[in-house]
Amino acid sequence: MNKKVEKALNKQIELEHFSSQLYLAMASWAEKKGYNGSANFLYAHSEEERGHMLKLFHYINDRGGHAIVPKVDQPVLDYKSIQDVFKEIYEHEKMISKEINNLVGLCYDERDFTTQSFLQWYVTEQIEEENLFSNILDKLNLLGGDKAKMYMFDSEMEKLLSAQQEAEG
């Protein structure tokens, strides 16, 4: 496979792996703080990111490249509030979207239309994720940080996770 594209896809593996670790750290923080609904949601999301990483592994190897297990920096372990967690996630996902777009651009420049078409799945996924986290943030901002309301918010996160799992079958 095209070497420049292979290198860039391996870079994306690093990012997806880091996302998985980041959400795992956030899940652990939320669990410790008693936000069990958010914690479950974040544990599941961490798994999802691992799935995004594995999809890249298989694609690279199937196309004759070599998928590389990345070195990973430890993510931030402590957060000021649950709002802080979701704000960070939203910013993180916007950064990921930018990286996916750069990857698609590189494939176009290198005339690697097979990988470009493979990456469409990630483009769509990023639209969904940005929407999801922007909606969660809007909800949090509306609630305004009141403790009782945060408890309500947390049960909503549990329901959101169940709805997602049902939709995925």
Q: Indicate the residue whose CB is closest to ligand OFO.
A: 52
In the bound state with ligand OFO, the residue whose beta carbon lies nearer, of 52 and 87, is 52
**Phi, psi torsion values for 112, nearest 5 degrees:** -100, 80
Least Cβ distance, residue 51 to ligand OFO (angstroms):
8
Least Cβ distance, residue 56 to ligand OFO (angstroms):
9
Q: Which two tokens stand for residue 132?
A: 């999801």
Least Cβ distance, residue 87 to ligand OFO (angstroms):
15
Contacts by 147-154 with C-beta closer than 8 Å and gap 24+? 150/35, 150/82, 153/38, 153/82, 154/35, 154/36, 154/37, 154/38, 154/82
Burial status of residue 110 (CB atoms within 10 A of its CB: 0-12, 13-18, 19 or more) = middle
In the bound state with ligand OFO, the residue whose beta carbon lies nearer, of 133 and 150, is 133
In the bound state with ligand OFO, the residue whose beta carbon lies nearer, of 93 and 150, is 93
Least Cβ distance, residue 102 to ligand OFO (angstroms):
13
Binding site for ligand OFO (CB under 6 A): 16, 19, 49, 52, 93, 96, 122, 125, 129
Q: Please count the other Cβ atoms lying within 10 Å of the Cβ belonging to residue 68.
A: 15
Distance CA 112, CA 97 (A): 20
In the bound state with ligand OFO, the residue whose beta carbon lies nearer, of 22 and 150, is 22
